[in-house]
Amino acid sequence: MKIFPALSLALPRPQKSLEKNSWNLFLKRHYATSEMIMDAFMHLRKAGILKREIFDLDEEKKRLLHGASFLGSKEFYSWLRELPPIEAEGIGMTLLEGAASEILKMARS
């Protein structure tokens, strides 16, 4: 478990015969949804962990991350702005009533 050494100390270790398969499943199958999307999701995407796509029936697009609001560092907002269009489409947002304009202002600054 080289990606998250500090985290691996807190997690129970799988049996040795299952360890490789368990870790491979972890790396293959992650889609994320959260009320608040923050820097951690950016790091999961950059590390190649956040890559499972689902099909959003309402918008008829593939998604790998969906959130109600975005809050993060300048690096996070820069990362969002600089995503290639095809990858940016994989991030969905359900705006909170009354907060939509503030969120969009933060993302653009």
Per-residue pLDDT of the chain (109 residues; tens, 9 = 90+): 455 555 555 555 555 555 566 666 655 667 777 888 899 999 988 888 888 888 878 778 888 888 888 899 999 999 999 999 988 988 888 766 555 556 666 677 6
pLDDT at 1 (0 to 100): 44
pTM of the model: 0.61
List of long-range contacts for 70-76, beta carbons under 8 Å, 24+ apart: 70/36, 70/37, 70/38, 70/103, 70/106, 70/107, 71/36, 71/37, 71/38, 71/106, 72/37, 72/38, 72/39, 72/42, 73/39, 75/39, 75/42, 76/38, 76/39, 76/42
